[in-house]
Amino acid sequence: MANVSIKDVARAARVSHPTVSRALRHSSLVKPDTAERIRSIARRMGYRPSAVARSLVTRRTKTIGVVVTTIADPFISEVVSGIEEVANENGYSVVLANSNADPEREVQVAHSFHERRVDGILVTASRVGARYLPLLSEMKVPVVLINSHHPAEFVYSVRIDNVTASRAATAHLIELGHKRIAYIGDRFGFQSDTERFSGYREALERADLPFLPQLVVHGDGKAEGGLHAIATLMAMPDPPTAVFCYNDMCAIGALSGIRQRGLRVPNDISIVGFDDLLIASYTHPPLTTVHQPKQQMGRAAMRILLELFSNAQSITNIKMQGELIVRESTAPPTR
């Protein structure tokens, strides 16, 4: 019934349990042939050292906590896939928790990670609650924020240069000749939304185009939000000829809303997204968007933790560049 312990192996090998411990960790303190004998016995008995007992004494769990708003978000799941890859390569396990962007839930997650004594924490969320971060840093464990940033002790970040990328995306539309360019954002207060919005404004400014507040609508970062937002925009007396969307899901919702009105992309209206999700190249028409190196960002975040575990000090903030991918959802305006 119970699991085979190190003492069971020791008994079987007629040695003490510390010797077994050393043999399995290839310590030079134990004679090579006894070590081999012990290892073969352990193998035969199907012995697996208990990570929990080990963690108790080493004070390391080899575990990292990953908080996401929801794992069902395609952007997030790709980031997590990158995290998981590097974590596993280095013997770390990933504990996943979703917060649903609910402050109460965030507190619970922080407590749970604290009790589990995770070695580090990765946060993938476009918004991070104010009560949340102090709680995380309370446990004196490094925290890496992905696509958000907060200057604080123990807190590092990996993010994309939202402003530059958004400016490039908007500039692309301007170069095509668009003058009335709308912005569909995420919910208010989300850091990356704010940054992408200011990139959009900067591009308008540089091109001496007027900023029209009525052309800014907010969705929910999902397809449905894009659908509603585009409805608002198209109902205007003088609708935009191009739309820059906060993210691809939003853009996909917008595409769908435009079709429902019998209009065509890019003939009647141009659309630009953000993220470059896998589906972005399979939409109709294929979506012009900003590529984010999602897996790479996850990998980089995990690597920061690993560095922190070994070297103590290293690079702590990484800013990556997005890349505008021009596909077929953008064209010069016809009007």
Interface with DNA by CB under 7 A: which residues?
Answer: 2-3, 5-7, 14-19, 21-22, 24-25, 28-32, 34-35, 47-50, 53-54, 56-59
DSSP class per residue in 284-313? SSPPBEEE--HHHHHHHHHHHHHHHHHHS-
Q: Residues 146 to 185: which contact a copy of itself by CB under 8 A?
A: none
Residue type, 90: N
* Residue 130 contacts a copy of itself per CB under 8 A: no
**Which listed residue (77, 164, 232, 316) binds a copy of itself by CB under 8 A?**
77
Q: Residues 221 to 280: which contact a copy of itself by CB under 8 A?
A: 223, 252-253, 255-256, 259, 278-279
For strand 143-146 and strand 155-160, is the pairing parallel, antiparallel, or unpaired? parallel
Least separation in angstroms between residue 41's CB and a copy of itself is 17
CA 20 – CA 17 distance, rounded (Å) = 5
* Residue 1 contacts a copy of itself per CB under 8 A: yes
* Residue 7 contacts a copy of itself per CB under 8 A: no
CA-based nearest residue to 68, from 57, 88, 58, 82: 82
> Residues 262, 234: contact at Cβ < 8 Å?
no
120 is written with which tokens? 């580090």
Q: Which does 32 bind (CB under 5 to 8 A by kind): DNA, a copy of itself, none?
A: DNA
Tokens 């109709």 locate to: 284
Residues listed for the chain: 335
Least separation in angstroms between residue 235's CB and a copy of itself is 20
- Strand-pairing partners, residue 123, are 67, 145
Q: Where are the alpha helices (DSSP H) in the chain?
A: 6-13, 17-24, 32-45, 51-58, 74-89, 103-116, 132-137, 162-175, 191-206, 223-234, 248-260, 294-311
Q: Which does 61 bind (CB under 5 to 8 A by kind): DNA, a copy of itself, none?
A: a copy of itself
Q: Which residues of 54-72 are buried (b: 16+ CB within 10 A; e: fewer)?
A: ebeeeeebbbbbbbbbeee
* Residue 312 contacts a copy of itself per CB under 8 A: no
Least separation in angstroms between residue 6's CB and DNA is 3
Q: Residues 85 to 124: which contact a copy of itself by CB under 8 A?
A: 85, 88, 93-98, 108, 111-112, 114-117
Question: Toward a copy of itself, which CB reaches closer, 8 or 49?
Answer: 49
- Strand-pairing partners, residue 63, are 93
**Which listed residue (80, 181, 300, 304) binds a copy of itself by CB under 8 A?**
80
Q: Which residues bind a copy of itself (CB under 8 A)?
A: 1-3, 46, 48-53, 55-56, 59, 61, 63, 66, 70-74, 77-78, 80-81, 84-85, 88, 93-98, 108, 111-112, 114-117, 138-140, 223, 252-253, 255-256, 259, 278-279, 281-284, 286, 295
